[in-house]
Amino acid sequence: MKKPPLETGPLPLRPLDRSFFARTPRRVARELLGKILVREDKTRLAARIVEVEAYLGIDDPAAHAAAGNTARNSVLFGPPGFAYVYFIYGNHYCLNVSCMPEGYGEGVLFRALEPVYATEAMAQARGVDLPTPATIAQLRMISSGPGRMSEALGITRLRDNGKDLTTSESALWLADDGFRPEKIVATSRIGITKAVERPLRFVIAGNAFVSGKRSL
DNA sequence: GAGGAGATCGTCT
DNA sequence: GACGATCTCCTCT
């Protein structure tokens, strides 16, 4: 319908190091926009991060960590740069990365991705039939939304909870390819009932793959 | 195009 | 036993 869906960064993929995540989730969230989430499967799948939310630990009523350190969310309270995957609404998995030094329970939720490599394989994992050429509306069905992107990359709690996202040895990792978003917009978080007003959702302005009815 | 409700199950009370 | 950091389908306009 409008702008080209796939943009590729100028550099080869380089893993983000642990110190990147040892900061506040607000900063990590902003800087994760434009980075690449890589799944090493039969083939390599990769998609650009276009929408995230920051969750501020035990003092954030909307955060899972507000309940304290439990068996479910313990990865959040561990060292930074690890995957916290949880199951929600009986249907969906959602992916977070732990932030801050050990003990804080803070993290960033991944909400939407723009397919970059192996788009066809991701569509297949979602049960989406992609015609050629596919429209933006069809491509959006692959990974615009936390549950959708997890299904597209085959992310489950059993398989991925606790994975180190800072090394390309991992089957799931985060990379920088040199791409930098032009403009970032902060809005209130989605799907929560507490602390609704705080502007902790961050999106790449104008990106068609941001979740919701319209991109900003 | 908008709005509402069902699906479905792990986790915590 | 209730509910949730969601998605899809269905109905109504």
Q: What is the pLDDT of residues A84-130, one digit of tens each?
A: 999 999 999 999 999 999 999 999 999 999 999 999 999 999 999 88
Distance from CA(A54) to C1'(B4), angstroms, rounded: 29
Distance from CA(A193) to C1'(C12), angstroms, rounded: 28
% of chain A surpassing 90 pLDDT: 86
pLDDT for A126: 95
C-alpha span between A48 and A80 (Å, rounded): 21
pLDDT for A133: 87
Phi first, then psi: give them for residue A67, nearest 5 degrees.
-80, -5
A109-148 residues labelled b (16+ CB within 10 A) or e (exposed): bbbbbbbbbbbebbbebbebebeeebeeeebbbbbbbbbb
Burial of A6 (0-12, 13-18, 19+ CB in 10 A): exposed
Distance from CA(A40) to C1'(B13), angstroms, rounded: 39
Which residues of chain A are under the pLDDT cut of 50? 1-6, 215-216
C-alpha span between A208 and A5 (Å, rounded): 8
Footprint of strand B on the protein (CB under 7 A): A 67, 70-73, 86-87, 89-91, 157, 213
Nearest nucleotide to A106 by CA–C1' distance? C5
pLDDT for A8: 63
Q: Do A45 and A173 touch, CB atoms closer than 8 A?
A: no
Q: Spell out the domains of chain A, with CATH numbers in brackets.
A: 14-204 (3.10.300.10)
pLDDT for A212: 82
- What lies within 8 Å, CB to CB, of A213 at 6+ separation is none
Footprint of strand C on the protein (CB under 7 A): A 53, 55, 62-65, 76, 87-92, 94, 96, 107, 109, 126, 141, 145-149, 189-193, 211
Distance from CA(A179) to C1'(C10), angstroms, rounded: 41
Burial of A167 (0-12, 13-18, 19+ CB in 10 A): middle
Q: Tell which strand B nucleotides have any atom below 7 Å from a protein Cβ.
A: 2, 7-13
pLDDT for A155: 97
Confidence (pTM): 0.94
pLDDT for A82: 98
Q: Do A199 and A119 touch, CB atoms closer than 8 A?
A: no
Protein residue closest via CA to C1' of B10: A87
